[in-house]
Every structure is written in C-alpha cells, then in structure tokens.
Chains A and B, each alone.
Chain A
Amino acid sequence: MEILENREEWKARFEEWWANYQRTGTPDWKAYPLPRNSTAPSGPGVDLSQSRLLFISSAGGYLRDEQPPFDAAHPLGDYSLRLFPVDTPLERLAFSHDHYDHAAVEQDPQVLVPLRHLEAMVDEGIIGALAPTVVGFMGYLPDVTRLVDELIPAVLEAVRAETPDAVLLVPA
C-alpha cells in the first residue's frame, strides 16, 4: 500500500503552498495540504508481554553532548535521524524542534520520551523487552514526499536492525 495516497496531487498542492511561503516569507497553514489516506495498514496484533518493543520519537530529541541538533529553523524541516540508547539518562537529552513549546519537555522529558516508564513496564511484565535503540527525528516535516523518500527508508533500516515485534510512536 502507498504511504502517501494521491502523491502527485498532493505534491502539486504542496508546491503551490511552498511557492507562496517563499514569496511571502510566512507559511499559510490554512492552505497547507494535509496528507490524507483512505486505507489504514492491516496486520496482526501481538502479545506485548512476549514482544520486543521499539520506541520512535518525533520530538526532535538528540544526545546533548554527542550529536548535532536538528536543523529546527529550516522552513522545510530536517529529514535526518538521531539514534540513541533506550537507557539514556533523561538529562543527557536535548530537543531541537521549533514547532512546539519546550517548557513541558524541559521540565519532564517523559511527557514526550517515556524511557523510564517503558523500563518500568518491562520490569512489571507488561512489555517483554525494549529494543536497545530509540529512533528519533524532528516531526516538523512539511514535504511529505521527502518524508516518504528520505526519512521513512532510514527509519525502516534502523527499525529492521533492532528486530522488534512492535513499535510505539510518540509525536510531539
């Protein structure tokens, strides 16, 4: 199935939006073409208590002292990944994403990156195991064709390497 249905129609509307953005210097979000699909992916459920869960975050998190931040100010976003260990101490995370207020996540990173909650759920037997790596990106990605062509293949490669049974996404 297609990740983005009616891709060419969407791309044409996006190019109009982007041209207007470049002309005016301001994004007109009322005119932005939200991606819309008609079909949801199908697949079997899993017994989470016997499964390996991988966590994906689009909060723009990265390792403060070891990784470069995302290009949060770019008008078309940043389609790269940051991978970090699921047992990362929360104080080692920083967030580069200009499209949400960081007050909550700076006070309590688990509002977006619930690493300690997930570990507790493993200890309680709710989750079988956690994949060792968190897959992270910055969720401001207005060009959905670039998301499909660049980001998703990279995410899938990172996911396959972790051999999970299930995946949790928490957007910002």
Chain B
Amino acid sequence: MNGYATTLTSWNAGRTRVTMPPRATFTRLNRGATLGRPGDAAQQRRVLKATLDLLALDAPQKPVYLDETAD
C-alpha cells in the first residue's frame, strides 16, 4: 500500500504482529467481532478512534495494545 497511510486493528496480535504492519492496534476482542461487542457502539467507536489516531503518526509505529475485551 505504498504511498498511502494505513492502519489496522486486530484481535490476533500474535499472528498480525509478525507481518510488520506500519500502524496497528491490538485488542483482546473476539474473532468475528474485531471492533467490539455487538450492540456496544461505544466500544466499537473507541477501538476505531484509537486505530485511526495512529494515522497522524509517521510509520512505522510500534503496535498499540488497547485494553478492550469481549467480556
């Protein structure tokens, strides 16, 4: 994706980290619900906002671990 500022979020830090994404947030959410619990718009927005905030920073950035869980 050369030439574009990119960011992502993943519940699977172990698998994603080794691909060396330029910007990433990692959570402890569930597979199939990457942004948050269903119906929990506030959590989905928090994960989304934290992930988008990384776009302001030059890449590569160290991944940011978010305290977001499925519980």
A and B are partners in one complex rather than unrelated chains: yes
**Per-residue contact bits, chain B 37-71, to A (CB 8 Å; 1 contact, 0 not):** 11101001100110111011111100000000000
A93 in the interface, Cβ–Cβ < 8 Å?
no
Q: Of the 9-residue stretches A18-26, A71-79, A105-113, which lies at the interface with chain B?
A: A105-113
Contact across chains for B19 and A107 when beta carbons are under 8 A apart: no
The residues of A that contact B49 with a CB separation of less than 8 Å are: 121, 126
User: A37-B19, A42-B59 are known contacts. Are A105 and B6 too (CB-CB below 8 A)?
Assistant: no
The residues of A that contact B60 with a CB separation of less than 8 Å are: 40-42
Contact across chains for B22 and A41 when beta carbons are under 8 A apart: yes
Which of B15, B39, B58 contacts A45 (CB under 8 A)?
B58
Give the tally of cross-chain contacts (CB within 8 A).
Answer: 140
Which of B9, B20, B36, B55 contacts A40 (CB under 8 A)?
B20
Contact across chains for B1 and A36 when beta carbons are under 8 A apart: no
Determine the interface band of chain A, counting residues with CB < 8 A from chain B: 35 or more
**Per-residue contact bits, chain A 29-63, to B (CB 8 Å; 1 contact, 0 not):** 00000111111111111111001011000000000
A90 in the interface, Cβ–Cβ < 8 Å?
no
Bound together, the chains give a CA A45 to CA B1 distance in angstroms of: 14
Interface residues of B (CB under 8 A from A): 1-10, 15-16, 18-22, 30-39, 41, 44-45, 48-49, 51-53, 55-60
Interface residues of A (CB under 8 A from B): 34-48, 51, 53-54, 100-105, 107-108, 110-112, 114, 117-118, 121, 126-127, 156, 159, 164-172
